[in-house]
């Protein structure tokens, strides 16, 4: 029986024309230069850095992992790159570049999508309805109904959700699809607008190693086949999931410890006298050596991490990264062409009707929740009516 990953590859190859709208032909590189984030300390009033002088460079079709211990700045950096609010009352410095050129919030939101860590899926909708409503809300009304359905069916097939198309997502009282399938569904919904860059916040959080591998392998195949740039924050992946990433950015205390190819990890850390032991999950080892939260000897652990950070900023790899960031890609016009602009939903009277339709389906399928409310409000009305009698 063929694996799910093999099935995805066959689907993409056999339906090349069907997924042509997903192809990225405009964004060749995505990079950032000297990105820093400062927040105000409530106790002292001083400005504290939660992200310091970050550099990065990702090419079309690559998947980058942002990794580090909790509180290291992964989500903060992801938000800065996506031009979202980094933190409350924060000050952001640095440049975010597309094809070597500075980009704006409006531009980045036109050709990128962001998948939150906590899914916002409506449990009483089916898988197909979830993607279809997302299509209706995100795509232009100029796109025909047939084209919209084609995109929905293609994404369900590409993400291995065709067999679950008529299954509800799941509610607290009705079982639906699995956790891994929910993550795939959330990602598929964001691909409807054909983003060139996909930001994922902890796409494997709460999943076991098998489900994590399943989710990331689907994302990797879609990104590779369509030249989509994927940047994902991730925490302690299994070894099988870790090798799916093309590049790794390792953070600790808001500072970089490494940025480069996953296949180059062993050579680099061996060169700074931190060789990765044989038969060890590299992700676990790297998190162990840059995590100071649970160290018995705090001062020693901080000194060790500072040594890794200092080794990085004096390395040849760091200098090569800075050079790559500063290079502008030839023919680097990233202006969204007419086809993508037409896909923008804009503002129309259709949106309230779509939301009303979606809410109606949610209401009549979730009878228990709404039945309890109806009984409660009816009882309250009767009691209030009796109390107001003369």
pLDDT score, position 367: 67
Q: How many structural domains compose the chain?
A: 1
What is the CATH number for 22? 3.40.50.300
Query: Which class for 221: exposed (0-12), middle (13-18), buried (19 or more C-beta within 10 A)?
Result: buried
Average pLDDT, the chain: 83
- Assess whether pLDDT exceeds 60 at residue 321: yes
Task: Please state, in angstroms and rounded to a whole number, the distance separating the CA atoms of residues 259 and 269.
Answer: 12
pLDDT band at 12 (very low <50, low <70, confident <90, very high): very low
Average the pLDDT over each of 149-158, 245-254, 268-277, 344-353 and give the range with the smallest value.
344-353
Cα dihedral 166, 21, 104, 48 sign: positive
Flag whether 163 is in a domain.
Answer: no
Rounded to an integer, the average pLDDT of 51-73 is 92
Residue 99 lies in a domain: yes
Q: How confident is the model at residue 336, as a pLDDT?
A: 43
Interatomic CA distance for residues 272 and 318, integer angstroms? 13
The answer to whether position 47 is within a domain reads yes
Nearest to 64 by CA among 291, 216, 292, 274: 216
- CA gap 119, 177 in Å, rounded: 13
**121 within domain boundaries:** no
User: Is 26:195 a contact under the CB 8 Å cutoff?
Assistant: no
Q: What is the DSSP string of 268-323?
A: HHHHTT-PPPTTS-HHHHHHHHH--TT-SSHHHHHHHHHHHHHHHHTSHHHHHHHH
- Residue 152 in any domain: the answer is no
Q: Is 53 among the domain residues?
A: yes
pTM: 0.83
- pLDDT tens per residue, range 97-126: 999 888 888 888 888 999 887 777 888 889
Give domain status of residue 127, yes or no: no
What Cα–Cα distance (Å) separates residue 304 from each residue in 45, 278, 316?
Answer: 29, 21, 20
What is the distance between the alpha carbons of residues 43 and 104, in angstroms, rounded to a whole number?
34
Q: Indicate whether 285 belongs to any domain.
A: yes
* pLDDT score of 390 more than 80: no
* C-beta of residue 35 within 8 angstroms of C-beta of residue 249: no
Domain span holding position 62: 4-111+195-346
CA atoms of 217 and 31, how far apart (whole Å): 24
Q: What is the mean pLDDT of residues 85-108?
A: 86
- Tens digit of pLDDT for each residue in 221-244? 999 999 999 999 998 889 999 999
Q: What is the C-alpha separation between 390 and 387, in angstroms, rounded?
A: 8
Cα–Cα distances (Å) from 236 to 65, 117, 310, in that order, read: 11, 15, 23
Give the pLDDT band (50/70/90) at residue 13.
Answer: very low
Side-chain half-sphere of 173: how many Cα atoms within 13 Å? 5
Structure token pair of residue 36: 């820093």
């Amino acid at each position: 029986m063929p694996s799910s990953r093999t099935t995805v590859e066959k689907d993409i190859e056999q339906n090349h024309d069907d997924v042509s709208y997903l192809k990225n032909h405009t964004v060749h590189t995505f990079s950032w230069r000297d990105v820093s984030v400062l927040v105000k300390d409530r106790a002292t009033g001083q400005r504290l850095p939660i992200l310091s002088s970050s550099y990065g460079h990702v090419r079309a079709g690559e998947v980058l992992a942002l990794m580090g211990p909790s509180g290291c700045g992964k989500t903060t950096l992801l938000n800065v790159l996506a031009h979202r609010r980094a933190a409350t009352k924060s000050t952001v410095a640095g440049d975010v570049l597309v094809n070597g050129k500075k980009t704006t919030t409006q531009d980045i939101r036109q050709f990128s999508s962001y998948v939150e860590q906590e899914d916002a899926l409506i449990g009483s909708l089916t898988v197909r309805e979830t993607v279809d409503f997302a299509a209706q809300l995100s795509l232009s009304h100029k796109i025909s109904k047939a084209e919209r359905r084609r995109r929905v069916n293609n994404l369900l097939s590409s993400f291995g959700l065709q067999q679950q198309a008529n299954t509800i997502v799941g509610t607290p009282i009705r079982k639906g699809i699995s956790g891994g399938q929910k993550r795939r569904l959330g990602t598929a919904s964001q691909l409807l607008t054909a983003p060139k860059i996909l930001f994922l916040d902890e796409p494997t959080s709460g999943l076991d190693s098998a489900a994590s591998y399943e989710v990331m392998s689907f994302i990797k195949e879609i990104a590779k086949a369509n030249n989509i740039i994927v940047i994902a924050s991730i925490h302690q992946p299994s070894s099988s999931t870790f090798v799916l990433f093309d590049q790794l950015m390792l953070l600790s205390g808001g500072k970089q410890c490494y940025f480069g190819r996953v296949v180059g990890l062993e050579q680099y850390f061996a060169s700074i006298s931190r060789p990765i032991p044989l038969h060890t999950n590299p992700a676990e080892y790297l998190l162990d050596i840059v995590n100071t939260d649970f160290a018995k000897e705090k001062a020693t652990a901080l000194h060790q991490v500072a040594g890794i950070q200092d080794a990085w900023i004096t390395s040849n790899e760091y200098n090569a990264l800075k050079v790559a960031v500063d290079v502008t890609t030839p023919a680097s016009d990233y202006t969204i062409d007419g086809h993508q602009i037409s896909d923008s939903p804009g503002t129309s009277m259709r949106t309230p009707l779509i939301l009303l339709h979606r809410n109606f389906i949610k209401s009549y399928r979730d009878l228990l929740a709404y039945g309890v409310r109806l009984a409660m409000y009816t009882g309250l009305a009767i009691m209030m009516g009796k109390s107001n009698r003369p």
